Amino acid sequence: MSSYLANGRTWGDAVAITKSDTETNAYSGIYVGGTGAVTVVTEDGTNVTFSAVPVGTILPIRTQKVMAATTATLLVGFK
Protein backbone atom coordinates (compact mmCIF):
# COMPACT_ATOMS: atom_id res chain seq x y z
CA MET A 1 0.00 0.00 0.00
CA SER A 2 1.34 3.44 -0.92
CA SER A 3 1.20 6.57 1.22
CA TYR A 4 -0.45 9.39 -0.71
CA LEU A 5 0.43 13.06 -0.49
CA ALA A 6 -2.23 15.71 -0.94
CA ASN A 7 -1.09 16.34 -4.52
CA GLY A 8 -1.48 12.68 -5.49
CA ARG A 9 2.23 11.76 -5.31
CA THR A 10 3.41 8.86 -3.22
CA TRP A 11 6.44 8.30 -1.00
CA GLY A 12 8.91 5.72 -2.21
CA ASP A 13 10.43 4.77 1.14
CA ALA A 14 10.15 5.25 4.90
CA VAL A 15 12.87 5.03 7.55
CA ALA A 16 13.16 5.50 11.30
CA ILE A 17 14.54 8.97 12.08
CA THR A 18 17.60 9.50 14.26
CA LYS A 19 17.50 13.07 15.59
CA SER A 20 20.75 14.97 15.06
CA ASP A 21 22.00 18.54 14.82
CA THR A 22 24.84 17.48 12.50
CA GLU A 23 23.59 14.62 10.30
CA THR A 24 21.58 15.29 7.14
CA ASN A 25 18.01 13.96 7.40
CA ALA A 26 16.44 14.73 4.03
CA TYR A 27 12.75 13.77 4.08
CA SER A 28 9.62 14.89 2.29
CA GLY A 29 7.37 14.11 5.23
CA ILE A 30 7.53 13.01 8.86
CA TYR A 31 5.19 10.65 10.72
CA VAL A 32 4.97 11.39 14.46
CA GLY A 33 4.30 8.27 16.56
CA GLY A 34 4.67 9.92 19.99
CA THR A 35 3.44 13.41 20.83
CA GLY A 36 5.84 16.33 21.31
CA ALA A 37 7.65 19.08 19.45
CA VAL A 38 9.35 18.49 16.09
CA THR A 39 12.25 20.83 15.31
CA VAL A 40 13.63 20.76 11.77
CA VAL A 41 15.76 22.63 9.29
CA THR A 42 13.70 22.90 6.12
CA GLU A 43 14.92 22.19 2.62
CA ASP A 44 15.44 25.95 2.19
CA GLY A 45 17.43 26.24 5.45
CA THR A 46 14.78 27.68 7.78
CA ASN A 47 14.70 26.49 11.40
CA VAL A 48 11.15 25.74 12.53
CA THR A 49 9.53 24.02 15.51
CA PHE A 50 6.12 22.37 15.32
CA SER A 51 4.83 22.39 18.91
CA ALA A 52 2.52 19.84 20.54
CA VAL A 53 2.26 17.61 17.46
CA PRO A 54 -0.37 14.92 18.18
CA VAL A 55 0.24 11.19 17.81
CA GLY A 56 -0.39 9.95 14.27
CA THR A 57 0.31 13.26 12.54
CA ILE A 58 2.10 13.36 9.19
CA LEU A 59 3.98 16.62 8.68
CA PRO A 60 4.29 17.19 4.91
CA ILE A 61 7.53 19.16 5.05
CA ARG A 62 10.83 18.75 3.21
CA THR A 63 13.74 18.72 5.63
CA GLN A 64 17.52 18.92 5.71
CA LYS A 65 17.74 17.98 9.38
CA VAL A 66 15.55 16.74 12.22
CA MET A 67 17.15 18.42 15.21
CA ALA A 68 18.14 16.80 18.52
CA ALA A 69 15.85 19.29 20.33
CA THR A 70 12.86 17.35 18.94
CA THR A 71 10.84 15.89 21.83
CA ALA A 72 8.37 13.89 19.74
CA THR A 73 9.18 10.18 19.53
CA LEU A 74 8.76 7.23 17.16
CA LEU A 75 9.48 9.44 14.13
CA VAL A 76 9.43 7.98 10.63
CA GLY A 77 10.79 9.89 7.65
CA PHE A 78 9.24 9.54 4.20
CA LYS A 79 11.49 9.80 1.15
Q: pLDDT (tens digit, 9 = 90+) per residue, 7-39?
A: 666 778 899 999 999 999 899 999 999 999 999
Q: How far lies 51's CA from each of 1, 32, 35, in Å?
A: 30, 12, 9
Q: Which of 8-12, 52-56, 65-69 has the lowest mean pLDDT?
A: 8-12
Residue 22 lies in a domain: yes
Q: pLDDT over 90 for what percent of the chain?
A: 81
Residue 8 lies in a domain: no
At 10 the pLDDT is 74
For residue 57, which of 77, 78, 30 has the smallest C-alpha distance?
Answer: 30
Give the residue numbers spanning the domain of 24.
14-78
Residue 6 lies in a domain: no
Integer Cα distance of 29 and 76 in angstroms? 8
Residue 4 lies in a domain: no
Integer Cα distance of 16 and 51 in angstroms? 20
In this structure, what DSSP letter does residue 3 have? P
**Predicted TM-score (pTM) of this structure:** 0.86
